[in-house]
Amino acid sequence: MLDIENLHASVNGTDILKGLNLSVKPGEVHAIMGPNGSGKSTLGHVLAGRPGYTVTAGKVTFLGQDLLELETEERARLGLFLAFQYPVEIPGVSNMEFLKAAVDAQRERRGEKPIDAVSFMKTARETCKAVDLDPVFLKRGVNEGFSGGEKKRNELLQMMMLQPRLGILDETDSGLDIDALQVVARGVNSMRSPDRAFVMVTHYQRLLDFIEPDFVHVLAGGRIVRSGDKSLALELEARGYAWLEEEVA
């Protein structure tokens, strides 16, 4: 589904990713861990196509297409979703309006008509319940005045409404209390299916207690330096990253 070969990328002239390789198959959940500044978040943004993030070498194939050739919005419509670490506010634009526009953009790409307001509202309300968000949030401005936890649950709401093929979660667990973390985990687990994959960027083993990954990768110095199963995460939890960095050096 997603194949990354020898990816090099820079931000503001600084090289961050330096030859990253990763292959994700449908149905899999990959966890990307690593020390601060190793390029974990950069990877998500490069895949999503954030302006200012320059790919200097390498190749990324997503669902058979050359991902790097596509515009940001085209990648999204194809089914790539990035849950942001710091979701921005868009005052005055209601969550509902925003969600519907996003859903309709995907439908349009598939040659479908815009979703009718009634079934959209029904799905949106049900999804709110699933992520433990009061439906009143649908009427509020996108992330406007939301608490940190509400913003994260709002990201999850968007992901569940859009039903992407690949969900990239950028430190979705940071700043969440244990209850909120469980809500997020329940949401992601409910979406796991044989034709959908997840890439979770995280600092902590804690998230992986609730969302069990098939693979764990350690990103350091812009490359994946170690891959393993979930036991690798436990080892990291116990020993930290320093030993790995030393080994690589």
Partner 1 sequence: MSQEHIDEAISREYAAGFVSDIESDTLPPGLDEDVIRFISARKGEPDWLLEWRLEAYRGWQQMTEPKWAHVHYPPIDLNAVSYYSSPKSMKDGPKSLDEVDPELLAMYEKLGIPLHEQEMLAGVAVDAVFDSVSVATTFRGKLAEAGVIFCPISEAVHSHPELVRKYLGTVVPRKDNFYAALNSAVFSDGSFVYIPKGVRCPMELSTYFRINEAKTGQFERTLIIADEGSHVSYLEGCTAPMRDENQLHAAVVELVALDRAQIKYSTVQNWYPGDAQGRGGIYNFVTKRGVAHRDSKISWTQVETGSAVTWKYPSCILRGDNSVGEFYSVALTNNFQQADTGTKMIHLGKNTRSTIISKGISAGHSSNAYRGLVRMSPKAAGARNYTQCDSLLIGDRCAAHTFPYIESRNPSAVVEHEATTSKVSDDQLYLCQQRGLDAEKAVSMIVNGFCKEVFKELPMEFAVEAGKLLEVSLEGSVG
Residues in contact with partner 1 by CB under 8 A are 48-52, 71-73, 76-77, 81-82, 84, 87-88, 90-94, 97-98, 101-102, 105-106, 109, 141-142, 158, 162
Question: Which of 47, 34, 48, 39 lies closest to 11, judged by CA?
Answer: 39
Nearer to partner 1, 76 or 216 (CB): 76
State the maximum Cα–Cα separation within the chain, in Å, rounded to a whole number: 58
Distance in Å, CB of 98 to partner 1, minimum: 7
Report the residue number, 52 or 111, with the smaller CB distance to partner 1. 52
DSSP, res 94:
E
CB of 82 to partner 1, least distance (A): 5
Residue at token pair 């820079």: 10
The distance of closest approach from Cβ of residue 103 to partner 1 in the complex, given in angstroms and rounded to an integer, is 8
Q: How far is the CB of 230 from partner 1 (least distance, A)?
A: 29
Between residues 87 and 148, which has the closer beta carbon with respect to partner 1?
Answer: 87
Phi/psi of residue 40, each to 5°?
-65, -50
Contacts of 187 (CB under 8 A, 6+ apart): 130, 131, 156, 159, 160
Report, in Å, the least distance between residue 45 CB and partner 1.
9
Q: Tokens for 5?
A: 């070969």
Report the nearest approach of partner 1 to the CB of residue 90 (Å).
5
Residues sharing a CB contact under 8 Å with residue 115, sequence separation 6 or more, in sequence order = 100, 103, 104, 107
CB 162 within 8 A of CB 132: no
Residue 10 or residue 205: which is nearer to partner 1 going by CB?
10
CB closer to partner 1 out of 127 and 158: 158
Rounded CA-CA distance 145/184 in Å is 20
* Residue 111 DSSP symbol: T
Closer residue to partner 1 in complex, CB, 48/124: 48
- Among candidates 195, 194, 193, 182, which has minimal Cα distance to 156? 182
